[in-house]
Amino acid sequence: MPKPVPAPAPKPAPPAPQQTFDFDSLQKSIARSRARNPSPPRPSPAPRGPAQAETAVNARPAVGAATALSATALNGLSSELQRRWNPNCEVEGGGTVIVRIAFRLGAGGVLVGDQTIQGVTGADPTQNRIAAERALRAVRQAAPFESLPSDLFGQSIVVTFDAKQACSTR
């Protein structure tokens, strides 16, 4: 009888190749996916505050474009009126009021016609009314605006008074 031949020892399995992460191919895959299915931007769940135009301390001509000199003069006018305005900073809700006042300038920077409240926002109606009256008073007391460039005479100007900003400097 033939002698049994031992079976050869099995060879150890070759080590599995280590997978490396290919960032380039991932980036290309994502880009292809986005190109096929562009998603609209998702709105933020965070509450939005008032727009810049509603909170900025500014003065602007209501109609037409201002020259660079006029824009500088209007910024100075806005700063001066903001300093003259006396919002009720210590009263609850007084520091959140925003008032927009419109007025027209005549020759020599005098006020012409009525000065009007274009809008008031804030927490309390009583505080809103008081702040608006004080903003009107600031405009009337600062007149005449003789230092403004003559191209602003005859223009309707809108000034935004922001109690938050005014109260932060007091």
**CATH fold label, 56-168:** 3.30.1150
pLDDT in tens, 72-114: 899 999 999 999 999 988 988 888 999 999 999 999 999 999 9
Q: Which of 147, 139, 78, 140 is nearest to 109 (CA)?
A: 147
Q: Does the pLDDT at position 40 exceed 90?
A: no
Are 166 and 97 in contact, with CB atoms under 8 Å apart?
Answer: no
Predicted local confidence at residue 41, as pLDDT: 58
Angstrom distance (rounded) from CA 20 to CA 49? 47
Domain residue ranges of the chain, discontinuous segments joined by + = 56-168
The whole-model pTM stands at 0.61
Q: Which of 81, 58, 65, 63 is nearest to 155 (CA)?
A: 63
